[in-house]
Amino acid sequence: MKELTKVEYILDGKAKGKVKIGGWIENLRSSGGVQFFIIRDGSGTIQATIHKDNVNKETFENSENLTQESSVIIEGKVQEDDRAPDGYEIEIEKLKILQIADEYPLGKKEHGIDFLLSNRHLWLRSPSQRSVLKIRTTIIKSAIDFLDDLGFSRVDTPILTPTCCEDSTTLFETKFPGGKAYLAQSGQLYSEAAIASLGQVYCFGPTFRAEKSHTPKHLAEFWMLEPEMAFYDFEDNIGVQEGLITAIVKNTLRKNKRELKILGRDTKKLEKIKPPFPRISYKEAIELLQENDFDIKYLDDFGAPQERFISKQFEKPIIIHRFPTKIKAFYMEPDPKDPKLTLSNDIIAPEGYGEIIGGSQRISDPKVLKKRIQEFGLKKENYEWYLDLRKYGTVPHSGFGMGLERVVMWICDTGNIRQTIPFPRTMGRMEP
Ligand code: 4AD
Ligand code: MG
């Protein structure tokens, strides 16, 4: 409806005088001859009052029947009021009730996470969840804008795939005419094909992993942004990662002040996020952990407590680089100074939020790649097309994947990844 004014405009001081708003009653109370409502319209929430003395008898009586989450269209005057939650309120003159909502199951008391997840379709309306989703929107747009400004093209890679990109133990298998298919763990191999056509590309879409462990940081379906760049080496790759994360944080701080406040986020910590990010090699990280009594050996992967310890040593995201070949994916370029290592890096978010980025320079020599495919026990026939990319004009190239929900989780400082995506899919849950 064109004639509706967005609450956001009113709160930004851009709409004065008479307005018409469509929304839901998020909260309500009455005091004497006044009813107080918090109205949510999708762009924000605002206090609206209805005074017995200012409206006709029928309108006031109707307003007394309203319940939480009833849907309404109101008309009234915008007033500046220091006592109102955001400095503005609306004095209602006309009230159109679209529906009196049934008794709402959420919000009267504290609920456990299972109850909230079972009611995710309703929980999405709460101030905290709304704020997280608004910030998620900013993060996506900032990331895409950042890459667009650098001249990247978007390449949409397939979700049904015949091969494995990352870890064969976490593949989701599905039927496919004449055999089986796997849900994509990453679009990387296809993006690598596209760089010879478009130079710098990215794919952005859902990726799937049948994670074995239930943790607060793992989803079975998550969104990954994967830039892939021709003629970018290991250092160039890190430069894009630092720029991307910095742009995301800067934009969120600028655009989502209200939401960060609702979430109680300590924004001072985010204001420190500027390049260069500190660096530590995999070997140094293992030594640091061993010196601090962690039971970890060279070639072990970092667990959550180890990642948390490392991240607590720094105020910015940390770059861990040069992982051993044995513990990383097959396609990573060997380090010329020590071929047992790869030109790879992860970025660990500060404040204990764990890995937000994984990337590397890719093997460009066809012989080395062929050998690596064998060593990793992968079926060569499945990777013929990927080997073709090294036969017809191979070039040095690099790329990385940023886990969107991990970044949302860190920036919003939410304890659990399930709150960072509208309808989370974890290994134990697919409802609603
Ligand atoms: O480190 P990963 O496995 O890297 C890749 O998939 C590469 N092919 C990316 C590339 O180079 N194009 O995953 C990348 C990121 C991780 O750093 C993490 O942020 C996120 O994806 N991630 C998950 N997020 C949520 N739930 C899970 N189960 C995740 N697994 C990985
Ligand atoms: Mg990784």
Provide mean pLDDT across the span 178-206: 96
For ligand 1, atom 15, the nearest C-alpha belongs to 403
For 217, 220, 300, 428, the CA distances from 210, given in Å and listed in that order, are: 13, 6, 21, 10
Question: Cβ(100)–Cβ(84) under 8 Å?
Answer: no
Provide mean pLDDT across the span 110-139: 95
Answer yes or no: is pLDDT of 165 > 80: no
Looking at ligand 1, which atom is closest to the CA of residue 407?
19
Query: Which region among 65-69, 160-164, 400-404 has the lowest average model confidence (pLDDT)?
Result: 160-164
Q: DSSP class of residue 372?
A: H
For ligand 1, atom 27, the nearest C-alpha belongs to 218
The per-residue pLDDT of the chain, averaged, comes to 95
Give the model's pLDDT for residue 64: 95
CA of 370 to the centre of ligand 1 (A): 24
Looking at ligand 1, which atom is closest to the CA of residue 220?
28
For 24, 163, 264, 277, 325, the CA distances from 238, given in Å and listed in that order, are: 45, 27, 31, 9, 19
Delineate the domains of the chain, giving CATH numbers in brackets. Answer: 7-99 (2.40.50.140), 118-419 (3.30.930.10)
Collapsing DSSP to helix, strand or coil, 178 comes out as coil
Provide mean pLDDT across the span 375-380: 91
Answer yes or no: is pLDDT of 1 > 90: no
* Cα(428)–Cα(419) distance, integer angstroms: 15
* Cα(214)–Cα(192) distance, integer angstroms: 32
Beta carbons within 8 Å of 90's beta carbon, 6+ residues apart = 10, 19, 21, 39, 46, 47, 48, 49, 74, 76, 77, 78, 79
Answer yes or no: is pLDDT of 108 > 80: no
Give the model's pLDDT for residue 314: 93
**Sign of the torsion angle spanned by Cα atoms 328, 331, 336, 340:** positive
* Cα(415)–Cα(408) distance, integer angstroms: 11
Give the model's pLDDT for residue 213: 77
Provide mean pLDDT across the span 144-170: 92
Q: How confident is the model at residue 336 (pLDDT cuts 50, 70, 90)?
A: very high
CA of 208 to the centre of ligand 1 (A): 10
CA of 355 to the centre of ligand 2 (A): 7
The identity of residue 263, as a single letter, is L
Ligand closest to CA 401: 1
* CA end-to-end span of the chain: 29
Distance from the Cα of residue 101 to its chain's centroid:
32
Answer yes or no: is pLDDT of 166 > 80: no
Provide mean pLDDT across the span 326-354: 95
> φ, ψ for residue 341 (rounded to 5)?
-105, 160
Query: Which region among 81-90, 223-232, 344-353 has the lowest average model confidence (pLDDT)?
Result: 81-90
Give the model's pLDDT for residue 110: 86
Question: Cβ(322)–Cβ(342) under 8 Å?
Answer: yes
| 195-252 pLDDT tens trace | 999 999 999 999 999 988 788 999 999 999 999 999 999 999 999 999 999 999 999 9
| 300-310 pLDDT tens trace | 999 889 999 99
Ligand closest to CA 331: 1
Task: Decide whether any atom of ligand 1 lies within 6 Å of the 130 Cβ.
Answer: no
